[in-house]
């Protein structure tokens, strides 16, 4: 490993690769052939960032070391010497795990899943179906924990606040539904309005997107230049931002102090 790293560091990657290929031609050892193929795959990255050599080799060689045992010594050297040059070293390769996915039926009908939200609990997910129902499932026990119905509204998207206190759902009725996530009860429903880039009122446009800050939701319609700010605690619109051009995306700073708006000129 140290020889390989030094060759790359002094700009002799091609010479090192040539030596590995020459060694394979002489010995016909499959480990050398695989190593040469691996080096060609990571060439441009390790030339630019030589310190990543250990991590790149471990990521690619660990999954095959059982079938190519002579690579084990190189991996041991990567593990020993790699941290000298780079602080990012993989401790476990996910490619080394083989398993089959499990199937979790979420409904007795053929409703399509439109959104899945992970939660703080790794085994708990929130799933939205096209029929307007939202279910919270424990995927380990396969138990339905909570269920919400949105009165047959088609769900465009849903998000959780960072503390998972509120679940906010956007529908094709141009409304945001604000739920108490733990109790699965509807707190408020807020209509989103806006105006088009040219000043014409938005008619049949749907909600184009929404984002959440600490205690607020910000939403905008398709082809609109207005962003509606909603207080999640009280469930009413506070005000609208009027942007110069059509709003394409919005993100809030972690403390909720600033909102950053992308626009289409």
* Domain co-membership, 156 together with 209: yes
Q: What is the pLDDT along the chain (265 residues), one digit of tens a residue?
A: 889 988 988 999 999 999 999 999 999 999 999 999 999 988 988 898 888 888 888 888 888 888 888 988 888 888 787 777 665 555 555 444 555 556 666 655 566 788 889 999 988 999 988 788 899 988 888 888 988 888 767 888 999 998 999 999 999 889 999 999 988 899 999 999 876 554 545 456 789 999 998 889 999 998 889 999 999 999 889 988 888 999 999 999 888 888 899 988 7
- CATH number reported for the structural domain that contains residue 156 in this entry: 2.130.10.10
* Domain co-membership, 247 together with 122: yes
- pTM value is 0.60
Asked which of 92, 121, 143 is the last residue of a domain, the reply is 92
Query: What's the CA gap between 153 and 33, in Å, rounded?
Result: 58
* Domain co-membership, 199 together with 82: no
Please count the structural domains in the chain.
Answer: 2
6 falls within a domain: yes
Asked which of 92, 123, 146 is the last residue of a domain, the reply is 92
Instruction: Give the residue numbers spanning the domain of 16.
Output: 2-92
* Domain co-membership, 226 together with 168: yes
């Amino acid at each position: 490993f140290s020889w390989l790293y030094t060759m790359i560091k002094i700009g002799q990657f091609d010479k090192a690769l040539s030596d590995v290929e020459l060694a394979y031609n002489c010995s016909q050892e499959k480990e050398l052939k695989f190593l040469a193929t691996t080096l060609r795959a990571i060439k441009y990255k390790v030339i630019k960032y030589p310190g990543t050599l250990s991590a790149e080799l471990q990521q690619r060689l660990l999954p095959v070391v059982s079938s190519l045992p002579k690579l084990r010594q190189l991996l041991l050297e990567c593990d020993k010497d790699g941290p000298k040059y780079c602080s990012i070293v993989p401790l476990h390769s996910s490619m080394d795990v083989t398993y089959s996915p499990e199937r979790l039926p979420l409904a007795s009908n053929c409703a399509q899943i439109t959104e899945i939200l992970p939660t703080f609990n790794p085994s708990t997910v929130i799933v939205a179906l096209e029929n307007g129902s939202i279910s919270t499932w424990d995927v380990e026990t396969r138990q339905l924990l909570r269920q919400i119905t949105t009165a047959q509204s088609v769900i465009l998207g849903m998000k959780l606040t960072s503390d998972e206190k509120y679940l906010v759902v956007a529908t094709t009725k141009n409304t945001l539904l604000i739920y108490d996530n733990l109790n699965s009860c509807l707190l408020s429903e807020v209509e989103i309005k806006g105006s088009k880039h040219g000043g014409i009122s938005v008619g049949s446009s749907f909600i184009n997107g929404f984002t959440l800050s600490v205690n607020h939701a910000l939403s905008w319609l398709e082809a609109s230049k207005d962003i509606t700010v909603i207080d999640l605690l009280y469930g009413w619109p506070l005000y609208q931002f009027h942007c110069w051009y059509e709003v394409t995306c919005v993100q809030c700073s972690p403390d909720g102090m600033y909102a950053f708006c992308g626009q289409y000129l």
